[in-house]
Amino acid sequence: MQINKLLLFIALLFCGTFGVFANQQLKLKSPNASLLVDIALTKAISYSVSFNNKTVLLPSSISLSLDKAILGKEAVVKSTKIRSNSGFNELTINFTNSFAVVFRAYNEGVAYRFITTFDGNVRVLAEQADFNLTGEPAAVIQQTDNYTTWEGSYVRFEQKNLIADGVRATTPALFDYSQQPLKVVIAESDLRDYPGMYIQKKEGQFSGQWAAYPVKSEMGSWGNFVSVVKERATFLSETSGKRSYPWRIVIITDQDKDLLTNHLVTKLAEPSLIRDTKWIKPGKASWEWWHDAILTGGEIPSGMGNRNTALYNYYVDFAAEHQMEYLMIDAGWSNNYDLRKVNPKLDVQTVISRAASKKVGVFLWCVASTLLKDLDGQLDFIQSLGAAGIKVDFIDRDDQLAIRWFEQIAKAAAKRKLMVNFHGCSKPTGLEKTYPNIVNYEAVRGAECSKWDYSVGPEHHLLIPFIRMLAGPMDYTPGSMRNASKDKFKPIDPGLPSSQGTRCHELAMFVVFNQPLAMLCDSPDEYMKYPDILQFLSVVPTVFEEMKVLDAKIGDYILMAKRNQGRWYIGAMSNWERRTLELDFSFLPAGKTYQLKLYLDAADADEHASNYTFKQISVNSESKIVLPLAKGGGAAAYLDL
């Protein structure tokens, strides 16, 4: 109540000047008062942000240029409105020219958005979203010179002034004031019918940048089935005059580990538009593509040329026997340009029916452009086969038209009770909250790159949870059982690939990574060589009810515990440095003894990364154990009463 009164006082203090565009200053605090937003209304709108009395964002201008008006330039304030709850404080500034700007302050960050009330449609000619960071923080960003990929590597700059003017990066983007310490992440949320935001270095600060509206495109790129933009308009979007625009977000914390529990992007997204969600079920999936459908046991013919009914039945049986909810059938089950033309080697409906009898659902891969040519017809066909969901690949854009596609596909799929796993896609911005049948997004440099290059090693694995994962779930596809040290790893394609880092590092991903649909990348018979590991993969869930980040440092290590239905799971990961971490079980209820099933790097895992040890230990809330992590190492565990 005290904070609410303070906010109300601040708003009322300036009521006497409303009706003209005078110099005005408004303030908004987070519920815990650690974050302060100063909003300046002069001939333009700007805001600055401080955290624990330290300036983080210097005055940063915002505006929206429409064909009807420039919103934020010499606008006149009509009124303000204060709203607050336990999660945030909100200030809405209503202007006379049919628009408002809403600011929110959470304990974990600040956000703002434009709201317009114009009749008819409008064109957005440009948007100004400046992020004028103070000082010279280090930056960890994914650079891009196009508007088609979110699967690049992260690059660290020791100071932001080392980033050349004109460099463009995807969001989320991380800035690290290591001496203070302070972490700042720029992101966005509730992106609907509007292009996605990048940031670009301009004269010492960063500003939002967006792909212009596509006016001409043609099929090209992979297999000539990707819609490639050849010409863009001079505006960003054409949209309804009555709407809310995406949230622009600045996440701020002085603790690395807080980034792993920051869900501000999801919090700001629109709530679910699907009433009945009982049919939406997360889970793990067996999958053939990463290991080229090769079974080393020799029980049945395998390999990419033998992807037939018998082979997929084998994957179904493996999933059913080991409590895995799904089978993912990747590219090749049908014609890339017409899903109704099914591979004659595969009776896909029989496989799906047989899987259903074993309580295993089946996802089917498809190309986005093929789906969109006849969205209702193609989805009706997939539904008639009995599929549980679709893996939609090769959107590879986030201009306004592409962002519409995401929602069109999710909405049409939901009508048919089909889940969606987006691949070849832009990063999530909360649409999976609005349409919870979206169970995953790729938008990450994932395990597939182990087939082609050296880019997805432990250093990468220790960056993406602190940056990419703030946007939402990611489909990294972990689970490699052929593990290699840094000096022994070599990309393999075609054939049986390996991964960088230890076996336990790979297992820990199933706890650390946010992946409601978790595809196991390796072959069933490879897992069956290790019954103790298969037991872990069988029981570890893909969604959790509670999370405790016990220790973490960006780019170096993570130690966390997650709970689902009374059982705790532990995941620890290290970069290429050997280290020890202390696992403190004080998060457990007092007075109970648990059996810890623990997977640790073997003593020689630095050299032989597949080697591990399995232990069972009794622990309680007073227990502490040391986890020795090899180079590129990890640990995984689960607790039973």
Handedness of CA 71, 34, 463, 425 (dihedral sign): negative
Catalytic option among 393, 396, 442, 522: 393
Owner of token pair 């180079």? 631
Positive/negative CA dihedral, 361, 365, 371, 377: negative
Task: Report the helix count and the strand count for the chain, using DSSP H and E.
Answer: 12, 39
| CA atoms of 160 and 84, how far apart (whole Å) | 35
Under DSSP, is residue 309 helix (H, G, I), strand (E, B) or coil? helix
Secondary structure element (H or E) that encloses residue 47, with its range: strand 45-51
How far apart, in whole angstroms, are the C-alpha atoms of residue 75 and residue 394?
42
Q: CA–CA separation, 449 vs 471, rounded Å?
A: 21
Return d(Cα 447, Cα 458) in angstroms, integer. 11
DSSP 383-406: HHHT-SEEEEE-----SHHHHHHH
The candidate with the shortest Cα–Cα distance to 431, out of 388, 392, 474, 472, is 472
| Residues near 12 by beta carbon (within 8 Å), at least 6 away in sequence | none
Strand partners, 463: none
Distance (Å, whole) CA 550 – CA 542: 20
Tell me if residue 317 is catalytic. Answer: no
Q: Under 8 Å CB-to-CB from 614, ≥6 apart: which residues?
A: 532, 597, 598, 599, 600
What whole-number distance in Å separates Cα of residue 489 and Cα of residue 500?
Answer: 6
Structure tokens at 87: 């999660």
- Please report how many Cα atoms fall inside a 13 Å half-sphere around the Cα of residue 164, on the Cβ side: 4
Q: Are 577 and 614 in contact (CB under 8 A)?
A: no
Using CB atoms within 10 A of its CB, is residue 284 exposed (0-12), middle (13-18) or buried (19+)? buried
Catalytic residue at 321? Answer: no
DSSP label of 527? H
Check: CB of residue 155 under 8 Å from CB of residue 460: no
Residue 271 neighbours by CB distance under 10 Å: 8
Rounded to whole angstroms, how far apart are CA atoms 583 and 384?
Answer: 49
CA 313 – CA 309 distance, rounded (Å): 6
- Strand runs labelled E in 210-313: 214-220, 226-232, 237-244, 247-253, 283-287
Which one is catalytic: 90, 188, 330, 448? Answer: 448
Q: How many residues does the chain have?
A: 641
Strands 483-484 and 612-619: unpaired
Which residue numbers are catalytic?
393, 448
